[in-house]
Amino acid sequence: MRSISVYVHIPFCIRKCNYCNFYSIRAQRGTIEKYVDAIVKEINLRKDLLLDRKIKTVYVGGGTPSLLKPHLLEKIIDTFYRVSNFHKNVEITLEVNPETVKEENFYEFKRMGINRISLGAQSFNDNSLKLLGRVHNSEKVKESFRTLRELNFENINIDIIMGIPSEDEGDFLRTLEETVKLNPEHVSVYSLEYHKDTPLYLDAIEKKITPISKELERKLYIKTLNFLNENGYVHYEISNYSKLGKESRHNLNYWLGGEYIGFGASGVSYFNGIWTKNEEIYRFLEKINRGIIPIRRMENLSKDKRKRILFILNLRLIKGVSLKRYRLDDFSRDFTKRLKTLQEMGLIIKDKETIRLSDEGILLSNEVFSHLI
């Protein structure tokens, strides 16, 4: 039986962060319950996709999915169990805002099978957290992490952001140090991005804040790599570090070109060579109530486009793209010419077995991928 990964999008937030461009809305009374019921209906509408597949990973993301009351999240998890099979060692991840960690709720989350937590710390500098629009402070991150450990969560990721404009090198290194002191199994380090129409982007345009220089970003990247390596974390993807055997299996499925189904508003799927994206929440609810699968966009990817996309996803991994799995002769002349240009620019490295990003290529990965699309 073939494997599949499942993503569930919970778009509700206490407050939208100043840098965030993920699809999310403010939580409103009554809407969350209706939304969960709609996801249950969507799973049943699409259950044929899961009948002959075994679920190997579930990722509940957002928004702030840890806002859900346990009985609501259990409705979703139980529905998957009813319509599909699970791998014995299934990884079930819940994205968590530190402000939402309550012992009684997380005891129930653990009981229903959640076995991996992704904790959105972002920084251990309180001024930076205010700038980002986070609702917690640094002490709350530590308190939440301790609570999760006391409840025997043994696989925890901590998200942090590099390049916050209010921070100097020392501030960011202190965030790294505080992260490692907690001893999580996984650390994700994301460079701050300024997405159009977010408050942080507008502040940068109006010169209220100044983004860090490329030189400082490069320096912070090298410091991060060395510090986390020295503390037992392996750099396995552009933004991700883990202890041995604790890589995010759900995200690895994306990067290795595996199939996945996204449920909920704006959920994205890749299945049988077809890419789809769901409607946003109000159209999502409307279609579900009419018994219609809530797809907003669909693309049947050509063989060539599918190969290029999967190659680019593989390139996110530090080990790079296997030239045994992807033969360059199978790609168009235009694509291989672009790869050669990137190699000449020092952004990718090619040897007999792999093509991978250089350190400079990692720092400029968005530009590299844009060049290859």
pLDDT in tens, 144-177: 999 999 999 999 999 999 999 988 899 999 999 9
Q: What residues have CB less than 8 Å from 236, skipping those under 6 apart?
A: 242, 247, 317, 318, 319
Q: What pTM did the predictor assign? A: 0.94
pLDDT of residue 356: 96
In the chain, what are the domain boundaries? 2-255, 302-373
φ/ψ (deg, to 5) at 372 = -90, -20
Q: What is the CATH number assigned to the segment(s) 2-255?
A: 3.20.20.70
Query: Which residues of the chain are under the pLDDT cut of 70?
Result: none
What pLDDT is stored for residue 204 in this prediction? Answer: 85
Helix (H) or strand (E) holding 236: strand 234-237
Task: Mention the CATH class of domain 302-373.
Answer: mainly alpha
Q: CA nearest 58: which of 78, 38, 28, 44?
A: 78
* Predicted local confidence at residue 30, as pLDDT: 81
Q: Is 291 exposed, middle or buried (0-12, 13-18, 19+ CB in 10 A)?
A: exposed
The pLDDT value given to residue 37: 97
Asked whether the beta carbons of 299 and 286 are under 8 A apart, the reply is: no
- Name the strand (E) or helix (H) holding 10: strand 2-10
Burial of 194 (0-12, 13-18, 19+ CB in 10 A): middle
What is the CB neighbour count within 10 angstroms for residue 77?
Answer: 18
